[in-house]
């Protein structure tokens, strides 16, 4: 990329960033009450807040791509295409709603020549040609992380892909050979500290290693491989944050080795992202607590041996999230789509799998507890953990959104590769489908979105390793997961009628992608309650008194 090109790209990003900044200040002014952001006032402008959250996320990704642009000519073209695409998308959000945004589309006027040049179908078709043989562009990983990538890619190719279609079509359990094989290569110990038998050393490598491994496992299959290492990581981070030394010694080595598998129970039938409303209770009884209530969307709860359970220990519901605590519930592994356990004292735990459109293999359960006894020793943090469940859950989920972005990247990569191969092999009207401009432009945009998502995830991983990036983790999750829906849809479309046939994996990629904007924080909740709210708070903090 020439200096002029780099300057034009940077000016476009700055112009888009200025629009977002002014709109954020406008939103903050609309939602401010007594010097603070009012959620109810914010909710009066949900459309603005939602679009602004996605626009801010795109700008953050574009800034990352400015750095990527300096790494080579191909990288520069990918970056320019992404920045032009993101700026054009911002313009589409803005036009006709300038009053609501508190700005106008002329803010981007100076960037129109850049946007036009790098959204030009001729340029994008040429980019698709250049990418043949180069995937979606160089990732620029260090040697150590390239080794991680190769290890998990090989495992996904050899162990996950051969069973992925069977698991999806028949809605079967994940084969034990996959679980055991992943344990052998250390997949379950990536976030467990070294002193407890894992590989986490407390630096950047912990986050980057998890992102790289997750992408490759998801390339194999989102349902069979993409989330297998997520649940152990969530429980591990919660235990590291708030568990006693004895609890860490008791559970972490088994999590690292794969001897014990983890499930997570947070959501309830009436409370999804609104965790403060949790109703499942843990009441003190002799020697421990009695659990009563129903949890839902408990992924992997049947196969799991350890369940991370968020419950209400304070009967005063006005305490909200401050009345929640976390337990580790131990249980036997239960194959299939249902389970039922009974204790000598009369307690019961019953679960049934919820049939889903995609993302099959791990199974998500609804689980009912009736006077289920849990020893006091299983309260994370013991007495000091009472009322800290929400905070421990947040620590556990800290990396979950970043991981979900990596899952989306892996799934998109698989869809792109399938679409490219099919387009090269399929003849339409006497020519390979790949020879048509529309096909090339679609494939180019796929590659651009994938590489931007990948580089954004890498950047957030580095930030989180330094104790930062919590907001950016939400941004990368929101932006990349929505991109995955478009990429898999277009990959399916390139397959034509065969894309709708289950014999082609691309149909599975399409239905699997749909869950990404729902779990680990539904897109709307993430944008309104986390991203837009925090951006507005930052804007208010920056306003002179």
Strands 281-285 and 338-342: unpaired
Q: What is the DSSP letter of 172?
A: -
Output the CA torsion sign for 287, 293, 296, 302.
positive
In angstroms and rounded to an integer, the radius of gyration of the C-alpha atoms of the chain is 24
Paired with 307 in beta bridges are 263, 329
Q: Are 87 and 111 in contact (CB under 8 A)?
A: yes
Dist. CA 229–CA 237, nearest whole Å: 12
Residue 30 CB contacts under 8 Å (≥ 6 apart), including other chains: 41, 42, 44, 45
Q: What is the DSSP letter of 526?
A: I
What tokens appear for 264 in the block?
Answer: 């997570």
Q: Check 215, 366, 472, 520 and give the catalytic one.
A: 520
Q: Give catalytic status of residue 330 as yes or no.
A: no
From 155, 254, 149, select the one nearest 210 (Cα to Cα): 149
**Chain Cα centroid distance, residue 460:** 12
Residue with tokens 């998990």: 152
Dist. CA 87–CA 109, nearest whole Å: 11
Residue 527 CB contacts under 8 Å (≥ 6 apart), including other chains: 49, 50, 53, 54, 478
Q: Are 360 and 171 in contact (CB under 8 A)?
A: yes
What tokens appear for 130 in the block?
Answer: 């250049």
Annotated active-site positions, please? 520
């Amino acid at each position: 990329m020439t200096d002029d090109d780099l300057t034009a790209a940077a000016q476009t990003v700055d112009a888009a960033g200025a629009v977002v900044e002014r709109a954020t200040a406008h939103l903050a002014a609309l939602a401010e009450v007594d010097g603070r952001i009012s959620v109810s006032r914010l909710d009066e402008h949900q459309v603005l807040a939602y679009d602004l959250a996605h626009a801010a996320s795109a700008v953050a990704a574009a800034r990352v791509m400015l750095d990527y642009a300096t790494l080579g000519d191909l990288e520069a073209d990918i970056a320019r295409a992404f920045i032009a695409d993101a700026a054009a998308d911002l313009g589409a959000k803005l036009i006709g709603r300038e009053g609501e945004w508190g700005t106008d589309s002329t803010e981007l006027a100076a960037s129109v020549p850049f946007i036009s040049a790098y959204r030009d179908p001729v340029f994008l078709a040429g980019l698709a040609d250049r990418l043949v043989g180069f995937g979606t562009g160089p990732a620029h990983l260090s040697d150590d992380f390239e080794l991680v990538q190769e290890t998990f890619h090989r495992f996904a190719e050899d162990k996950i892909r051969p069973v992925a279609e069977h698991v999806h079509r028949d809605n079967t359990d994940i084969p034990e050979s996959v679980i055991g094989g992943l344990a052998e290569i250390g997949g379950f110990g990536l976030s467990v500290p070294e002193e407890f038998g894992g590989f986490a050393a407390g630096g950047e490598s912990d986050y980057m290693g998890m992102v790289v491994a997750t992408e490759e496992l998801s390339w194999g299959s989102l349902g069979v491989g993409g989330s297998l290492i997520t649940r152990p990581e969530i429980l591990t981070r919660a235990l590291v944050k708030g568990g006693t030394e004895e609890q860490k010694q008791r559970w972490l080595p088994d999590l690292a080795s794969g001897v014990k598998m983890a499930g997570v129970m947070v959501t309830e039938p009436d409370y999804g992202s609104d965790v403060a409303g949790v109703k499942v209770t843990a009441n003190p009884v002799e020697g421990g607590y009695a659990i009563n209530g129903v949890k839902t969307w408990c992924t992997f709860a049947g196969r799991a041996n350890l369940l991370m359970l968020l419950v209400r220990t304070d009967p005063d519901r006005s305490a909200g999230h401050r009345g929640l605590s976390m337990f580790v519930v131990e249980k036997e592994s239960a194959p299939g789509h249902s389970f039922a356990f009974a204790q000598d004292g009369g307690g019961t735990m019953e679960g049934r799998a919820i049939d889903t459109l995609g993302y099959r293999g791990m199974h998500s359960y609804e689980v009912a507890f009736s006077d289920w006894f849990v020893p006091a020793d299983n309260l994370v943090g013991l007495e000091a953990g009472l009322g800290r469940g929400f905070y421990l859950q947040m620590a556990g989920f800290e990396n979950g959104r970043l991981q979900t972005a990596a899952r989306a990247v892996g799934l998109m990569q698989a869809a792109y590769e399938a679409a490219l191969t099919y387009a090269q092999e399929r003849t339409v009207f006497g020519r390979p489908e790949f020879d048509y401009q529309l096909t090339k432009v679609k494939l180019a945009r796929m590659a651009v979105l994938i590489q931007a998502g990948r580089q954004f995830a890498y950047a957030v991983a580095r930030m989180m390793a330094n104790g930062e990036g919590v907001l950016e983790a939400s941004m990368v999750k929101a932006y990349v997961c929505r991109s995955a829906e478009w990429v898999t849809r277009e990959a399916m479309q390139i397959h034509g009628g065969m894309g709708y046939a289950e014999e082609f994996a691309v149909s599975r990629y399409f239905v699997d992608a749909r869950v990404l904007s729902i779990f680990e924080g539904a897109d709307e909740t993430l944008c309104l309650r986390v991203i837009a709210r925090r951006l507005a708070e930052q804007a208010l903090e920056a306003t002179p008194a």
